Every structure is written in C-alpha cells, then in structure tokens.
C-alpha cells in the first residue's frame, strides 16, 4: 500500500508521507499502527502549525492507496473487515476506488463507504460522461429491503453543473451505527455493475473466512446495487485503486456543518460560517483544530 499526500477536498487535515505516518514522537502516537491483535489502525493525529497565515493549523492524517489497480470489467472484489470506524463532528472518512491515470472523474470513482459529521453514508459512482443506472434491475434486486430515497441515475459528474454522480436507492447508515456494528464491508464489481454488502461480524460466511469468497451467495447482506446500462456505461471505469482515508471538514463535512445536529451542539456556530476556502473563518476548521476536537 502507498500513502498519498494530496488533498483535493480543502480539508483541515494534512496527509502524511508513509514514513511520517508510521513515526511516533514524544507528543503523540503514529497515525498508522498495528494493534496487539494484528489489526491495522488509522487515526487522526496531533495539531501542527502550517506556516500559512490563512490556515495556521491542521491535524495529521493519512490517505492510503493500493499499489495495484484492478480492471472492473474483468471483475474485482474489495473486502474490508473492521472493528471500529471514526465518526463525529468534522470527521469525513472514506473507503473508495479511483483511477489516478486520468484527470478526475474521467477514470471513474466509486465510493463504497463515505460519510461526514452525523450524515449517513452515501454509496455513489462518479464518471466523466453520461452513464445511466438501470432502475428496473435495481428494483428487482433490492425488492423487500428498506431503502432510502434515490439520488441521480446519471453517473456523469460535474459539480459546477450540479451533476453529482449516480446514487441508487440504498440502505444508509451513519458512522455511529457502523462503529457500533463491526463486520465486513464489501463491493463486488463486474461488467454488469456493482453490489455493496455489509455483513455483521457474527454472520461472516465460511467462504469469506476461508478466503474463497462467493458474493453471489451474499444477497441478504446487499445494501446497494448499481446496475449499469451496457450501452451508456461501456468502458466507463479505468483500473481502480483502493483508497482509505480520514479527512476533516472541507467540501462535505465543512459545507454541511450547519446541517448537522452534532456539529451545531459543539457550540462552534458563532462568528464563523461554512467557509472552507477561508479556514480562519470556517466553523468546522475552528472545531477540528481546537483542543475540543
């Protein structure tokens, strides 16, 4: 796995290099470590001065990329077993897939688990051209499941034109829920589309435990299905890297600060606003870079 340092979300985090991420010092633990049980641990680290008068402080964090990229049309399965996830005001963690060979979103991006503040996770696909979900197949596959309302069916993404990518009807849960319900999050992607699963820890099937996964048997655990039209979505995604990161504030958690009950209850609502391009005046950044965070 590689560690990236680029931040495109205008957040209050500083992504560390690999050597920095594993380094401990007298004041704090490393942002990446291994627990006594052999689990990987990612965390947000200490407050650091930036030398930038407009954003004088940030917090150390990490963004991990896989060294290998998989071709979705050939079939790929991503599985993450977790014991805990971070959540709360200013927190924006994500498990996602992306292509780094093309300017975003040309190579495609798929968000498997992503949430901010106390908002529910949103499973979304982003592309650089029109690509439509087949809603008839979606309804057939997810029939009988209690799902939230649908988002756009067109995966085309251009925020300046209010094109937000495609987000099917899905089972949505908050970071708090995930933290209290450890288990497995998985995404199976092939030429027909993508299915995302959440499997509770006590129900992980034998095929997955034995490293012989059979996602075709996991239907009861499906939380989202993105059936892509073959004509409009042909070759829509280039080889995908796996990414895991913890962001703070920025485009989602910062802009959504006043929509969040938990964020408002911090008291960081006066003399500031959702001003992610002005960190000195941004409520979320004030909180994330304070001792209260």
Q: What is the pLDDT along the chain (293 residues), one digit of tens a residue?
A: 555 556 789 999 999 998 999 887 645 678 999 888 889 999 999 999 998 888 899 999 999 999 999 999 889 999 999 999 999 999 999 999 999 999 999 999 999 999 999 999 999 999 999 999 998 888 777 777 777 777 899 999 999 999 999 999 999 999 999 999 999 999 999 988 999 999 999 999 999 999 999 999 999 999 999 999 999 999 999 999 999 999 999 999 999 999 999 999 999 999 999 999 999 999 999 999 997 66
CATH number of the domain bearing residue 263: 2.60.120.200
Beta bridge partners of 15: 61
Distance CA(70)–CA(107), nearest Å, equals: 12
Residue 146 covered by a domain: yes
Distance CA 263, CA 174 (A): 14
Does residue 110 lie within any of the structural domains?
yes
Give tens-digit pLDDT for 185-229.
999 999 889 999 999 999 999 999 999 999 999 999 999 999 999
Token digits for 94? Answer: 């994500």
Q: How far apart are CA 62 and CA 50, in angstroms?
A: 16
| CA–CA distances in Å: residue 287 to residues 91, 152, 248, 283 | 11, 32, 10, 6
* Prior bond of 134 cis (ω within 30°): no
Nearest to 134 by CA among 154, 113, 156: 154
Residue 293: inside a domain: no
pTM flag (> 0.75)? yes
Question: Does residue 55 sit within a domain?
Answer: yes
153 inside domain:
yes
In a domain, 172, yes or no: yes
What is the tally of structural domains in the chain? 1
Q: What is the pLDDT of residue 71?
A: 94
Range of the domain at 173: 2-288
């Amino acid at each position: 796995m590689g560690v990236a340092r680029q931040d495109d979300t205008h957040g209050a985090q500083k992504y560390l290099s690999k050597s920095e991420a594993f380094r401990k010092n007298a004041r704090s633990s490393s942002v990446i470590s291994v627990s006594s049980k052999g689990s990987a641990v990612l965390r947000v680290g200490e407050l650091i001065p930036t030398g930038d008068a407009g954003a004088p402080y940030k917090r150390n964090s990490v963004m991990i990329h896989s060294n290998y990229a998989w071709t979705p049309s050939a079939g790929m399965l991503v599985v993450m077993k977790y014991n805990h996830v971070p959540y709360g005001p200013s927190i924006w963690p994500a498990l996602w897939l992306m292509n780094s060979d093309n300017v975003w979103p040309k190579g495609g991006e798929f968000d498997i688990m992503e949430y901010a503040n106390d908002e529910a996770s949103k499973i979304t696909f982003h592309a650089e051209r029109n690509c439509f979900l087949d809603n008839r197949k979606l309804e057939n596959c997810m029939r009988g499941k209690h799902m939230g309302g649908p988002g756009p069916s067109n995966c085309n993404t251009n925020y300046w034109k209010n094109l937000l990518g495609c987000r099917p009807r899905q089972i949505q849960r908050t970071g708090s829920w995930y933290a209290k319900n450890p288990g497995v999050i998985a995404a199976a992607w092939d030429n027909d589309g993508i299915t995302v699963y959440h499997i509770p820890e006590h129900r992980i099937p034998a095929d997955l435990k034995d490293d012989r996964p059979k996602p075709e048997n996991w239907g009861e655990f499906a939380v989202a299905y993105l059936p892509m039209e073959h004509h409009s979505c042909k070759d829509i995604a280039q080889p995908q890297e796996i990414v895991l990161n913890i962001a703070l504030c920025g485009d989602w958690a910062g802009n959504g600060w006043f929509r969040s009950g938990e964020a408002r209850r911090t008291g960081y609502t006066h003399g500031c606003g959702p001003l992610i391009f002005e960190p000195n005046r941004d409520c979320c950044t004030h909180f994330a870079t304070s001792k209260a965070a």
